[in-house]
Amino acid sequence: MSALEVFAEGPGWLVVDKAAGLLSTPGKFISDSVTARLEASGRRALAVHRLDMDTSGLMVVATDPEVHRALSLQFQRRQVAKAYLACLAGEVSADEGTIALAFRLDPADRPRQVFDPVHGRLGVTRFRVLDRTFDRTRVRFVPETGRTHQLRLHAAHPIGLAAPILGDPLYGRSSARPSSRLALDAYQLAFVCPLTGQRRHFRRPPVV
């Protein structure tokens, strides 16, 4: 069973550390999830945002409806700071930069997202290369928007970084060496506590 740890707790919210392989909220066929486990432990759990099932890391869950509304508004206004570490299958030539690609769901191949500059929704990601080793690149991603599969598509697309995240079953290369999991980890998170007005910063060592 994939692990779930309560990393921090405040008035009306929890920051949890989600393991790869665990849904953020119940799916169509899988009920096991972050919110389901928290509710089973006797806590109220209202998802403010989500991490992909295959992504590990920090996410905030509200335990109070008013706090949930306030935190959701912070996400809508892009006032929440998130940072991810990823290991990419390929060499990225640029040391840092910004990726801006518009994409949308492919209804014939759900949940895959496809590049569509006409009908897609723009996703923006800042990146910085941390190190390069042979045909691998470790990158810090800071998403400025929160589109589905944004980091995975921005890494893999030819006009993005052209280097898919290791272990990505949707956007990875068939020739890449297999990985046991998606090498994407949300290791930093910051938001303003709605009830105290204090900006809270959370960080743990990345696991990829």
Catalytic residues: 52
Helical ranges in the chain per DSSP H: 34-40, 65-76, 150-156
Q: Return the exposure string of 71-84: e unless at least 16 CB atoms fall within 10 Å of the residue's CB, then b.
A: bbebeeeeebebbb
For residue 143, what are the β-bridge partners? 125
Q: Could you tell me if 92 and 139 are in contact, meaning their C-beta atoms sit under 8 angstroms apart?
A: yes
HSE toward the beta carbon, residue 125, CA cutoff 13 A: 27
Q: Which residue has the tokens 């905030």?
A: 60
Q: What is the β-pairing status of strands 184-192 and 121-133? A: unpaired
